[in-house]
Amino acid sequence: MRDLSVGKPSSSSRDEHERPPPTAAALLRRWAPGCLAVSLGLAALGWWAVRSSLERFAPVSHSIDMVTVETGHRDTLRVIADQDSIARILAFINDRTEGWGGVSDMFGVPVPQVTAFLYNSAAPVPDRFQGSFGAGDGFFATQREGDFASRRASREELDAFAGLIGVPTSWVRNGVPTHRSANR
């Protein structure tokens, strides 16, 4: 429709620059989906960086000279100082340096039922603890290089680990019976 009044431009011929500035709500509707997508993308990139940094651990040092086997409640089940037994435990751990994750999982790393704590008693006191490797029903968990991580474990792997650290397989899967005294 044409505006026939004198001196007034028709509403259809207004210049775009004469539009009022958009409101905050209009800007939010326009830019929020893009900002959300960028934020999610950056969060995913950060998750990937953390996860990919933990997918592989360096092998455990062969300077380990003591292993304590403990429950999930930190009760000591046994201490292993025999170098042949320690070498077999380290070989088992070092065969599993890949496939780790868990740090970024929603609920974190699961708590193992039984854990082997690795020590180098020749190191200065603050550096004696070298890491841990534990197991629970269907998983391994480790603390190495300052990070905690977990990975899936097969029934055969759990059985082999239980044998190496000298505990029944049922303790690895179900936990140590609570009626058992750790000091007996």
User: Do 141 and 99 share a structural domain?
Assistant: yes
User: Do 70 and 41 share a structural domain?
Assistant: no
Last residue of a domain, one of 54, 75, 101: 54
User: Do 83 and 32 share a structural domain?
Assistant: no
Please check whether residue 180 lies inside any domain of the structure: no
Model pTM greater than 0.75? no
- Determine the pLDDT at residue 161: 98
pLDDT tens digits, residue range 35-78?
655 665 555 545 444 444 446 677 787 789 999 999 988 899 99
Helix (H, G, I), strand (E, B) or coil at 175: coil
Please check whether residue 5 lies inside any domain of the structure: no
- Determine the pLDDT at residue 32: 66
User: Do 84 and 38 share a structural domain?
Assistant: no
User: Do 110 and 139 share a structural domain?
Assistant: yes
Overall domain count for the chain: 2
pLDDT tens digits, residue range 97-148?
888 876 545 567 788 999 999 999 998 888 899 999 999 999 999 988 778 8
User: Do 151 and 70 share a structural domain?
Assistant: yes
Please check whether residue 3 lies inside any domain of the structure: no
| Pairwise pLDDT comparison (27 vs 87), residue with the higher score | 87
Task: Give residues with Cβ within 8 angstroms of 135, minimum separation 6.
Answer: 112, 113, 114, 115, 141, 153, 158, 161, 162, 172
User: Do 74 and 113 share a structural domain?
Assistant: yes
pLDDT tens digits, residue range 168-180?
999 999 998 876 5
User: Do 47 and 77 share a structural domain?
Assistant: no
d(CA 27, CA 170): 60
Nearest CA to 67 out of 40, 87, 50 is that of: 87
- Determine the pLDDT at residue 98: 87
User: Do 113 and 39 share a structural domain?
Assistant: no
d(CA 161, CA 88): 10
User: Do 97 and 152 share a structural domain?
Assistant: yes
User: Do 78 and 50 share a structural domain?
Assistant: no
Structural domain range at position 30: 16-54
User: Do 84 and 152 share a structural domain?
Assistant: yes
